[in-house]
Amino acid sequence: MDKIAVLIPCYNESQTIEKVVNDFKRVLPDAVIYVYDNNSTDGTDEIAKKAGAVVRYEYQQGKGNVIRRMFRDIDAECYIMTDGDDTYPAEFAPEMAKRVLERQVDMVVGDRLSSTYFVENKRPFHNWGNSIVRKSINLLFKTDIKDIMTGYRAFSYQFVKSFPVLSKGFEIETEMSIHAADKNMYVDNVVIEYRDRPEGSESKLNTYSDGIKVLATIVRLYKNYKPMGFFGILSLILVILAAVMFIPILITYMQTGIVPRFPTLIVSGFVMLAAIQSFFAGMILQTIAQKSRQDFEIQLHHIK
């Protein structure tokens, strides 16, 4: 088992990967640097090998698929995950590793948003999207993670081996944050500097399509992890909708003794039934989710 493993998922990062590998070798001389190449066509893997990294391959496209492969393959006491685009300074890695190794933190978040991100990042919709995602997750899951979408993190062995990777792409960071919040993992934040990609290096993140996927992931995981909250909101919406249809009919009936719109009355009744079903579905699924958390805590005892 490695003491510290640096994990670098890469797709066409030939311009920056050598510097990234060398920077992490300099600040963490005893760490093993792993570069997982995700179908690059620009020679990223050969450059990484020459720089001294252990190069492996993941042929299913997508960052989530690469992280899944890394977490399965590598055993380490501490994992440092970073990107190959040289946007995350290596100088913060020793402090992040220290918190995992000495303070038993399960996930250390490299917090860009509290420092230089909004100045360095030249894509305004990314800034807006990061703020929306952070506020949404912290509100829904009652946590205080400072940067949800950062690709610079440190993990404990228990976190890595107990984290079920389901996302295929850039939603992976969101999934990690929600998993940590739901499973009561010890999460800490380290403020880091962020620098924009060097000229000529292109981001693989699509602002709109990947942003939609991230928001869909939040909704999906909220339904799975907090079913009473999700179905409770749905039930409330249905109750309001049923009431909007029913109240005018009730007022007319009280005034005239006549029910003028039977189809609307019938629809409102079915909507109310759907609201009741949604509420009880939430209660049942909440019990199952609670049992799942209990089973998860037991499983942690077997991960050494």
Each residue's pLDDT tens digit, 155-165: 999 999 999 98
Quote the tokens at residue 210.
Answer: 């990947």
What is residue 90's DSSP assignment? G
Q: Do 72 and 188 belong to one domain? A: yes
Expressed in angstroms, the distance from the first to the final Cα of the chain is 11
CATH number for the domain spanning 87: value is 3.90.550.10
| Domain residue limits at 249 | 227-300
Q: Is 61 left (phi over 0), alpha (psi -120 to 50) or beta?
A: beta
Whole-number average pLDDT of the chain: 88
CA distances from 168 to 117, 162, 263 (A): 25, 17, 45
Q: Do 208 and 260 belong to one domain? A: no
pTM of the predicted model, to two decimals? 0.80
Query: In which band, very low, low, confident or very high, does the pLDDT at 208 lie, cut at 50, 70 and 90?
Result: low
Q: Do 237 and 218 belong to one domain? A: no
Q: Do 155 and 198 belong to one domain? A: yes
Listed residues 167, 198, 225: the one ending a domain = 225
Strand 76-81 vs strand 2-10: parallel, antiparallel, or unpaired? Answer: parallel
Least confident of 105-109, 139-143, 178-182: 139-143
Asked if pLDDT for residue 124 goes beyond 60, the answer is no
Q: Do 132 and 231 belong to one domain? A: no
Q: Do 16 and 160 belong to one domain? A: yes
Listed residues 165, 195, 225: the one ending a domain = 225
Give the number of domains in the chain.
2
**Dihedral, CA of residue 211, residue 217, residue 218 and residue 222, to nearest 10:** 170
* Model confidence pLDDT, tens digit, residues 269-292: 999 999 999 999 999 999 998 888
Q: Do 235 and 293 belong to one domain? A: yes
Q: Do 36 and 151 belong to one domain? A: yes
